[in-house]
Structure 1
Amino acid sequence: MSMAEMTDMRQYLTFRLGSEIFAIDVAKVREVLDLTAITPIPRTPELMAGVINLRGSVVPVVDLRQCLDMAKTVSTRNTCIVVVEVVLDGESTIIGALADSVEEVIDLDSAQIQPAPRIGMQVRVDFIRGMGKRENSFIMILDIDRVFTAEELRGTSTENTATEAAA
């Protein structure tokens, strides 16, 4: 294997949300935790599940299914928290993301990844880095830095801010 081929290969953590399999670059993953007690925070957006105590640090936890406009996560014995490092407002931030289950770490090279589909101007797909081909199925590779914005986590959006400013 040449150096160019080795650098084209990347590792991804795959996880399940409903019946779909998603993946994120392992470089963004800090750890995977069994589901633990999540303390809800009043007056936060619905996608914000709450916070957990991670070795003495307060870590916000988001419901990744709700970030992707899916039904709210229902806890099962396989539900877990994927702790990721994301960039929000230019700062590195640690966030936990609920997943229905974690599958495995896989290697994909650039030849196995197709660009995200272009669906139209009204449908937001900028959070999909690409579609990984594996056997007879696709794995949606997420750009975790774009799955949610700081505004969504604060419960605001540019539309809400403009509406409030006009009132």
Structure 2
Amino acid sequence: MDNLQAAAPGAVQHLSFRVRQARYALPIELVREIIEYGQVTAVPMMPGFIHGVINLRGNVVPVLDLAARFGMPRSVPNKRTCIVIIELDLGDTQQRTGLVVDAVDAVLDIEAASIEPAPPFGAGIRTEFIAGMARDEAGFTIVLDVRRALSLDDIRQLGLAAQAG
């Protein structure tokens, strides 16, 4: 019990995952579920970083490739590739979106004090996508600002694609 209480103040749980060789994390409160990469239906005239849409228990969910969004080559799914289903509050609606990641690692308790500002260069992705860099014994984990990585225009476009699909 003391260990739980000691870890709770100032710590926020994050889901950590890999995109190429880099470690990323996002707040667990955004994550609804993690599913195996499966049948994704392509949607014509979408940006290259959008794989398409999936049927998630009767709901159409757009699927975005984080590697391609970060300017890397589009992901080629393998046995460890996952889709992290997140839910973002867009004011009057909730938008579920699938994020293609190379592998899911763990749930981390990240102390606010251990998060450093994003460097002006060298992270491999646009710095406005980074909420901060969390330091641990293995190095750094890039904490994503998902709302910026998926701009509101992109999210609305994904929502329209899901409705049309």
Q: Name the TM-score, length of structure 2 as normaliser.
A: 0.83
Cα displacement string for residues 1-35 of structure 1 (whole angstroms, at most 9, x for unaligned residues): 7x897331111100011111100000010100011
Match of 1:40 in 2: 42
Match of 2:150 in 1: 148
For residue 74 of structure 1, what is the amino acid of its counterpart? Answer: V
Please list every run of 5 or more consecutive structure 1 residues that lacks an aligned counterpart in the other structure: 156-167
Cα displacement string for residues 122-154 of structure 1 (whole angstroms, at most 9, x for unaligned residues): x94122110001104100000111112143464
Q: Check 1:28–1:35 CA distance in 2 against 1; reply closer, same or farther (3 A cut).
A: same
Q: Name the TM-score, length of structure 1 as normaliser.
A: 0.82
For residue 104 of structure 2, what is the amino acid of its counterpart? Answer: V
Establish whether residue 20 from structure 1 lines up as the match of residue 26 from structure 2. Answer: no
Match of 2:129 in 1: 127
Q: Percent identity?
A: 35
- Quote the Cα distance in structure 2 between the aligned partners of 1:103 and 1:66: 20
Shift of 1:86: 2.2
Q: Check 1:25–1:117 CA distance in 2 against 1; reply closer, same or farther (3 A cut).
A: same
| Alignment coverage as a number of residue pairs | 152
- Quote the Cα distance in structure 2 between the aligned partners of 1:58 and 1:48: 14
Establish whether residue 53 from structure 1 lines up as the match of residue 30 from structure 2. Answer: no
Match of 1:10 in 2: 12
Q: Check 1:90–1:132 CA distance in 2 against 1; reply closer, same or farther (3 A cut).
A: farther
CA RMSD of aligned residues (A): 2.3
Please list every run of 5 or more consecutive structure 2 residues that lacks an aligned counterpart in the other structure: 159-165
Tell me which structure has the larger Cα radius of gyration: 1
